[in-house]
Structure 1
């Protein structure tokens, strides 16, 4: 199939957008103590600097995915980056907790619009198979580097320029990428007639999934039996149930339920749920271990994440080769098993008096596994999906990813703090180790889910049909 002109520049832009999003996800962690002191957060409310982003991101993903399919990939891509840039500026200028939390929520909305648009552009530009796998590897590698460099950059900026700089740095990056997008991404075609927008589905899905993520992130702080947690979770169940009922009846659903017949997509949704709940939580616990248990500075904590960036990028390249040699199923399994081994090694290396070198084997294994699994699970999510539904399919996998992150972090925080009230310093280490072992065990559930994918031999037989997947931006 002929390759579309300009795809190299397009892929570079999409990878850069993923880098920005990944940096933004992690850059705030290292700056949290300074943000809390300077802006006036107390110990209980500080988590909302992180949680506000997660709630908005998880709640708006399905809406963002359908908007990319219906309104245009370039239009939603540039809108998302503008939201990122402006909300980052507002976050850096915030002087009180309320405006800062609001700015983080808008950043989450930007992320919910950006991720499906980015994946849609990849999945409709590059042919399913080796070509798309190479593109996803580049995109995933940029994300892995961004996650780790976010911590490093956060430490450097916080140390030398203050906490505000972790927000301001996103402004030129996001707005610069927006300007480039108009010259690199093809203009959106006229909206296809006959494809309506499911307003009722959009409202119930957005509010329902936002309430679900809110309840999950609020539970550890407010208590799982508290009124606000129970109301949020019960409300989310009712709204998500209403959303599914609407989708079964409407002529133009936000999320066509027939997509659940795609085994590869459904399996990818299960894997992303487990992946984010286990791999995604490692950044939080590693930061707590370094800063709270061993009193690392923001700068030293950032530098400690540098090996993770290098290994994550290497893992993405390894994933591309494994996908070609062994198929999606085996690549996901290898990545998850490697990550589980790394979590075990990292937990074993944690101690009240241990040094950083002892942590390196675990960091290397986790980061390699992350890069391998990340690329493969999004390759699985796109397999066999019509070009018109790539945005919503990507959003479905990303929604389970965000919910998994909230569930996993809530569970592992409960494990880490079990029996502790106000423990700090070395007293935190036993709980952190237990959380690491628990995360490794839970990762094996992801392996079991991945094994439900078709065997590589059957995937190979299907490749002539897969070649029919559109490979050009409409």
Structure 2
């Protein structure tokens, strides 16, 4: 279908970096525009969060299937198909006229991202199997990944204020086009694994339906108490769907979506548990700080985006430090230290006030939290793909991406609801500030749990100084 391409490690790294920047950017580029999206299309205060949930849920829920498909049908094939779908969904979403239109487009974006992200990460893992080159490659990946998330806030703010919120969707179209051209001409087709059976589509449906129902139940606690019949029934249905997913994976005659034995690998299971919590804390913190700057301090979207620049730069600094330290310090220690540093930054964020100042309420904690976050990213991905068979690298990569996106959606649902409850029915800058501060403090607590998981669950991998 595609012409044969000659690929070098440097070309592969460049393609993966562009793809990951785009996927990561799309998680945060809409955050600053949420108030304008809500007023422009008529979303409710809590309903607008589904602009984020729709993307994160389909992305996270289908990543396992995407990872399996990349191993089965070829990583380049899935990468190009995902880029085409992602770009088309972005274009359609920019022309949305009703809330349902935009939510559907975001869901389609998530499906496209679920196709391309595992293939890209698996290409990186197989192209750089070990040594110093692997440390550098995952350092570059982590920097572009984090920069996309952080710069997305700046890009979204500028586009929202000086163009329209619709451009937070349109901006993906040229990036997807460029990434498609780079991948088509610069990445060689990967070998396909032997097909042992048909893919487990039912498992993917059950996983996505279960997580969607779970998040929906948590989000609705702003209207229905945790102990209400509505909430209890919704959460019970979610548990039933997820239990059915596990049963299907254990008994299916098709090729399982994820081999449950993969979780016996401590690096895989520990890294994914850690990643789920980090995803929950980071997505929620971006959401709270974006709304704090706009709704409490009354700062415009463009300037709000500028104020996130120190965070983006700090993540890049942390990623570079992780490369340097990765030659001499184990990944486990970097994960513990990075999460601790980020937790300190979020605890500082939790001290925001209704008359806050940029230097003390934004800049200071941004520097600490972002450097810590940058220290985590590269070692986390390297750990999650350690000791994984080559034919399962796509699945392991999809699993890691899935845990992050599902963590982001669940974290935003749970912590957003907690912040909303703390705010109360009387909406003033002071009450909003109180709710956002509570949410940011809870982000720090979540990261401390991640530290505990890294300390107790991950085995210590040797540093790469002898590579």
TM range (shorter): over 0.9
1:285 is aligned to 2:291? no
CA drift at 1:246: 2.3
- Tell me, yes or no, if structure 1 residue 297 matches structure 2 residue 300: yes
Asked if 1 retains the 8 angstrom alpha-carbon contact of 2:72 and 2:192, the reply is: no
State the distance in 2 between where 1:165 and 1:88 align.
9
SS, match of residue 417 in structure 1: helix
Matched, 1:439 2:438: no
Matched, 1:69 2:71: yes
Picking from 177, 191, 199, the partner of 1:197 is 199
Which of 167, 171, 174 is the aligned partner of 1:172?
A: 174
Q: CA deviation at 1:5?
A: 5.6
CA distance in 2: counterparts of 1:281 and 1:44, whole angstroms: 14
The answer to whether the aligner puts 1:276 opposite 2:279 as a matched pair is yes
Is the 2:335–2:376 contact (alpha carbons within 8 Å) kept by the matching residues of 1?
yes
Q: CA deviation at 1:28?
A: 0.7
2:430 alignment partner in structure 1: 426
Distance change >3 Å, CA 174–CA 41, structure 1 → 2? same
Question: Counterpart of 1:405?
Answer: 408
- Seen in structure 2, the aligned counterparts of structure 1 residues 42 and 437 have a Cα distance that, compared at 3 Å, is closer
Q: CA deviation at 1:414?
A: 3.5
Aligned to 1:103: 105
Structure 1 residues 462, 260: CA separation in 2 closer, same or farther (over 3 Å shift)?
Answer: farther
Q: How does 1:285-364 map to 2 (within 5 A)?
A: 285-348=288-351, 350-358=352-360, 359-364=362-367
SS in 1 for 2:350: helix
| 1:154-193 per-position Cα deviation (integer Å, ceiling 9, x unaligned) | 1111111111111111111102211221111112435524
1:267 is matched with: 270
Q: 1:27 aligns with which of 26, 29, 33?
A: 29
In structure 2, the residue matched to 1:470 is: none
Alignment RMSD (CA, Å) = 2.3
The residue correspondences of 1:129-208 to structure 2 (distance < 5 A) are 129-190=131-192, 192-208=194-210
CA drift of 1:279 comes to 2.5
In structure 2, how many angstroms separate the alpha carbons of the residues matched to 1:42 and 1:210?
19
The CA distance in 2 between the partners of 1:78 and 1:39, in whole Å, is: 32
Partner of 1:81: 83
**Residue 393 in 1 paired to residue 396 in 2?**
yes
**What is the aligned partner in structure 1 of residue 61 from structure 2?**
59
Deviations 1:192-250 (A, max 9, x none): 24354223333333333333344344444555456665444323322222222222233
1:368 is aligned, of 366, 371, 381, to: 371
- CA distance in structure 2 between the partners assigned to 1:374 and 1:462 by the alignment: 16
**1:293, 1:461 → 2: CA distance?**
45
User: What is the alpha-carbon distance in structure 1 between the residues aligned to residue 176 and residue 156 of structure 2?
Assistant: 17
Q: CA separation in 2, counterparts of 1:432 and 1:206? A: 29
In structure 1, stretches of 5+ residues that fail to align are 468-474
Q: 1:96 to 1:5 in 2, by over 3 A?
A: closer
Which whole-Å deviations, capped at 9, do the CAs of 1:56-114 have from their partners, x for residues lacking one?
Answer: 12221211111111111111111111111001100111111111111011111122222
User: SS at 2:33's partner residue?
Assistant: helix
1:249-307 Cα offsets, whole Å, 9 max, x none, are 33531110110110011100110111112222110110111011111111111111111
Provide the rounded CA distance (Å) in 2 between the counterparts of 1:454 and 1:143.
23
Instruction: Determine the C-alpha separation between the residues in 1 that align with 2:70 and 2:339.
Output: 30
TM-score (ref. length: structure 1): 0.91
Separation of aligned partners in 1, 2:292 and 2:104: 28
TM-score using structure 2 length: 0.92
